[in-house]
Amino acid sequence: MSKKKNKSPQPTQQSAPKPKPKEDKGATFKSISENRKAKFQYEILDSLECGMVLHGSEVKSLRNGKCSIEEAYGRIKDGELWLVGCEIDEYRQATIWNHPTKRVRKLLIHRREFLKFAGRSKERGLTLVPLRLYFTDRGVAKCVMGLCKGKKLHDKRETMKKNDAKREIQRAIRGKAKGR
């Protein structure tokens, strides 16, 4: 018997299949509440995404969209970040296991982010304001906190003038596009 030698070299190890790149679905989230007044009343210097410690009835109520963050603000106490004044309505079906509507809620952030954010929030005239509450695609409730500085009356007027000018430009562009 004669053995024929194969002239093409065969690899001794099989190469692992190449991993498929993960598809980026983008940042999908379900918005619960947005603090629109904050963008008008404050100059937003920085923002930070925080997790929230919630009771079960609070989560159910948030899923129904029963929340108001208009009067809420952030407070630093004992090395932790707290959300004060956020009103989450009671969940009707929770009966006796319901939560208080305006309780103080703990916000969860990494220690490094906290130290950076807390240091800046101690400056005179800066406030921690919730800008948005939302659920991530995994169903986790998040709060975007903004480090803000209050606007003066003339700053608000200036912002309104800029917005009006932008709106007029957009109207003019739309009018030309339609051929008017």
pLDDT tens, residue by residue, 74-124: 999 998 999 999 998 888 888 788 888 888 999 999 999 888 888 888 778
Q: Could you list the residue range(s) of the whole structural domain that residue 75 is in? A: 29-151
Q: Are 105 and 72 in contact (CB under 8 A)?
A: no
pLDDT at residue 1, as a whole number:
54
Residue 19 forms part of a structural domain: no
Q: Which helix (H) or strand (E) holds 59?
A: helix 56-63
Residue 93 forms part of a structural domain: yes
Residue 55 forms part of a structural domain: yes
User: What residues contact residue 137 under an 8 Å CB cut-off, 6+ apart?
Assistant: 25, 28, 29
How many helices (H) does the chain have, and how many strands (E)?
4, 9
**Choice among 2-6, 14-18, 87-91, 122-126 with the minimum mean pLDDT:** 14-18
Residue 141 forms part of a structural domain: yes
Beta strands in 18-58 (DSSP E): 29-34, 42-52
pLDDT at residue 118, as a whole number:
82
Q: How confident is the model at residue 13 (pLDDT cuts 50, 70, 90)?
A: low
Q: How confident is the model at residue 159 (pLDDT cuts 50, 70, 90)?
A: confident
- Structural domains in the chain (count): 1
Residue 101: which CATH number? 2.40.280.10
Which one-letter DSSP state was computed for residue 40?
H
Residue 50 forms part of a structural domain: yes
Reported as half-sphere exposure (CB side, CA atoms, 13 A), residue 37 has a value of 8
Residue 150 in this model has a pLDDT that exceeds 80:
yes
pTM, two decimal places: 0.69
Residue 73 forms part of a structural domain: yes
Residue 100 forms part of a structural domain: yes
